[in-house]
Structure 1
Amino acid sequence: MTIRVLVVDDDPLVRSALRLMLGGQPDVEVVGEAADGREGLALAESLRPDVVLMDIRMPVLNGLEATRELQRAARPPHVIVLTTFDADDHVVEALAAGADGFLLKDTPPPQILDAIRTVAAGDPMLSPSATRTLIDRLRAGTSTERVADAEHRLALLTERERDVALAVGRGLSNAEIAAELYLSVPTVKAHVSRLFENLVVTNRVQIAICVHDAGLV
């Protein structure tokens, strides 16, 4: 199955580089390009991509707001935020708004491809070189109210759901969680689906944020 990708970035050189890099892959197709978030939303609605590579800082509508609006669709695409270190504050908010992960713009091409395939399969992807910075910022900026809210939501889970939530918070894939907890992959997927409902979140990254807010990972 071909993964349909939409590139949203106001830098034409970045768009060209991504299209060139992804164009040679048999399982990935760049179906469109947009120079700002508003144009990206329109193309996402008409082209129905599987994955959107979303820049943060753009004119007309930035990537943060565009990501938030994409989540309102009946079947939203997966979103990977493209960023630099000095945009980490925005990345935290973008992940909370529903992005499936983020990559630094200087990420090597093979890792970008891996990220696209990973999120298309339903798993989050956080750039290894920036994950620690993100976690540190989350912990430093976690208010008492956010901690209490996260602890309350996690307290409502069953023991097994909590185990799965902690594993998601550590960045494990469904297959890795299944192996660690001695469960089948379909069972893990079922637990993750219930976590979306019980924690009132829309993706795995938001589960991880909740776990981090509670100080459990």
Structure 2
Amino acid sequence: MKLLIVDDDPLVCQSLRLLLGKEEDFEVIGAARNGEEAVAFCRRESPDIVLMDIQMPVMDGIESTKIIKHEQPSVHILMLTTFKDEKNIRLALQAGAEGYLLKSSSIDKMAAQIRALMSGMMVLHPDVLKTIIEPERKMIEGLTKRELDIVECVAQGLSNKEIGEQLALSDGTVRNMLTVILDKLELRDRTQLAIYYWQRHEA
């Protein structure tokens, strides 16, 4: 898969390019110093994954994510930053980012999360999950309590098997209930479901 690294720190770009480039299934096709360069690069090259920093000069990662996802919805964007405050996390997800990792993540973990994102999963650093998931439950209209349990598990990035283990349900039951939930909410997939959940849980 083709990766673009976006960060205003040349050392970060160089390190990520070197380390991620060692993965057999990754090809780092470029680096950008700010959001404006990232938008231009995506228009030219259409990478599979963009590793996007948040705070950069000229154009930040949030704004460039909005533009890239609007113009090229098939480009996956993974925020890679030092910031784990709730505001930045929510803004990034609302802009269209499908993942949010911290730069403190190990390269092995980062590579695994990139692959998970490409397979259709939303990926979040554990510290980010703690920040964003509120302790109180907010009911979603039209869903039962059990269905809400499943939605919350999806929002935490759990697989169907993990959801089944946590809620004492079979894999088939989880799949069937997810189909019903997506139909009720008129959503396409579990990534949209996770985003829908977080958008409704804004502070």
Looking at structure 1, the residues matched to 36 and 51 of structure 2 have their Cα atoms a distance apart, in angstroms, of 14
SS of residue in 2 equivalent to 1:102: strand
Tell me the equivalent position of 2:152.
166
Q: How does 1:7-18 map onto structure 2 within 5 Å?
A: 7-18=5-16
Looking at structure 1, the residues matched to 42 and 181 of structure 2 have their Cα atoms a distance apart, in angstroms, of 26
- Residues 185 and 134 (structure 1), Cα distance of their counterparts in 2 relative to 1, 3 Å cut: closer
Contact 1:6–1:31 (Cα < 8 Å) also in 2: yes
Looking at structure 1, the residues matched to 84 and 182 of structure 2 have their Cα atoms a distance apart, in angstroms, of 33
Return the letter of the residue paired with 2:68. Answer: L
Return the letter of the residue paired with 1:96. Answer: Q
How many Å apart are 1:105 and its aligned residue?
1.1
Contact 1:177–1:188 (Cα < 8 Å) also in 2: no
Unaligned runs of at least 5 residues, structure 2: none
Looking at structure 2, the residues matched to 177 and 23 of structure 1 have their Cα atoms a distance apart, in angstroms, of 34
Return the letter of the residue paired with 1:41. Answer: V
Return the letter of the residue paired with 2:57. Answer: P
Equivalent of 1:28 in 5, 8, 26: 26
Q: CA RMSD in A?
A: 3.4
TM-score, with normalisation over the residues of structure 1? Answer: 0.75
Q: How does 1:64-213 map onto structure 2 within 5 Å?
A: 64-85=62-83, 88-135=86-133, 151=139, 154-157=140-143, 162=148, 164-174=150-160, 176-177=162-163, 180-183=169-172, 194=183, 197-198=186-187, 203-210=192-199, 212=201
Contact 1:196–1:203 (Cα < 8 Å) also in 2: no
Looking at structure 2, the residues matched to 81 and 168 of structure 1 have their Cα atoms a distance apart, in angstroms, of 19
How many Å apart are 1:173 and its aligned residue?
2.5
Looking at structure 2, the residues matched to 164 and 208 of structure 1 have their Cα atoms a distance apart, in angstroms, of 11
Tell me the equivalent position of 1:63.
61
Contact 1:68–1:97 (Cα < 8 Å) also in 2: yes
Return the letter of the residue paired with 1:169. Answer: A
TM-score, with normalisation over the residues of structure 2? Answer: 0.79
Percent identity of paired positions between Structure 1 and Structure 2: 36
More helix by share: 1
Return the letter of the residue paired with 2:196. Answer: I
How many residues of Structure 1 are paired with residues of Structure 2 in the alignment? 199
How many Å apart are 1:74 and its aligned residue?
4.9
Unaligned runs of at least 5 residues, structure 1: 141-146
Contact 2:120–2:191 (Cα < 8 Å) also in 1: no
SS of residue in 2 equivalent to 1:183: helix
